[in-house]
Amino acid sequence: MEELDPRQTPRAGAFALWGKAPMPMVTLVKTLDVSRPVGLSRRRGLKFNMLLCWCAGKAASRVEEFYTLPVGDKLIRYDNLAVNTVAALENGGIATCDVPFSGDFEQFRQDYLALTERVRASGKAYDLDGGYMVIGTSALPQTEIDGAVNIYAGFCNNPFLIWGKYRGKLLGASLPVSFQFHHAQMDGGHAARFLECLQEEIRALNP
């Protein structure tokens, strides 16, 4: 992890414009073809949300802007990525869980299962140390949604993905996904590229 001078980076202009904006977050919505992970989930018993989280990490690793994040008045460069997921607790509550991203699917799967089970058992969130740029996710499988705009608390600038229940079709399945990002971290073009990469990773999924 390294603190950068925003003025000496390609994000200088965006940081100056949006770094202190009262609402610097932008949301894009894209409908994805998720036939591949739906099929893998059914045939091999792999968790659908885990597959999407891994694809999100793979797609983010292809976009350089994901490795830097505005934190207060600073721009921080990270060496590693992680994906945050939400675990349902037995008492009806929820707790978040950071899963370190690995390009090795089996490693990611093991970490995902072990860490989310740890969160469920303890009832406490699991947060990685500061060495990771964390991509947030939230799944609402109870219902189909067309899109979502997340809250902005002012202290968490991390990119965030939200999706609901996938929609079965005769020859596959689709899923609208909302992607929220801080404009000082990336521009719309970078976000659009990430969503295209996410679709490519989902279609190429072969764990």
Q: Which of 14, 140, 19 is nearest to 74 (CA)?
A: 19
* Mean pLDDT, rounded, for 172-177: 97
Angle, CA 180 vertex, CA 178 and CA 181 arms, to 5°:
150
**CATH number for the domain including 159?**
3.30.559.10
Domain encompassing residue 51: 2-12+23-80+134-203
On whether the CB atoms of residues 74 and 152 are closer than 8 A, the answer is no
| Spatial CB neighbours of 117, under 8 Å, sequence gap ≥ 6 | none
Q: Is 206 helix (H, G, I), strand (E, B) or coil?
A: coil
- Report residue 38's pLDDT band, with 50, 70 and 90 as the boundaries: very high
The pLDDT tens digits of the residues spanning 7-25 come to: 899 999 999 999 889 999 9
pLDDT of 207 above 90: no
- pLDDT above 70 covers a percentage of the chain that reads 100
* Mean pLDDT, rounded, for 100-117: 97
Q: Is 110 within the bounds of a domain?
A: no
pLDDT of 188 above 90: yes
Q: Is 107 within the bounds of a domain?
A: no
Q: Is 43 within the bounds of a domain?
A: yes
Token pair of 74, please?
């600073």
Taking the model in full, what pTM does it have?
0.95
Listed range (52-56, 97-101, 154-158) with the worst mean pLDDT:
154-158
- Between 73 and 134, where is the model more confident? 134
Q: Is 52 within the bounds of a domain?
A: yes
Q: Is 123 within the bounds of a domain?
A: no
- pLDDT above 90 covers a percentage of the chain that reads 88
Q: Is 108 within the bounds of a domain?
A: no
Q: Is 148 within the bounds of a domain?
A: yes
Mean per-residue pLDDT over the chain, rounded: 95
Domain total in the chain: 1
Q: Which residues of 133-170 are buried (b: 16+ CB within 10 A; e: fewer)?
A: bbbbbbbeeeeebebbebeeeeeebbbbbbbbebeeee
Q: Is 115 within the bounds of a domain?
A: no
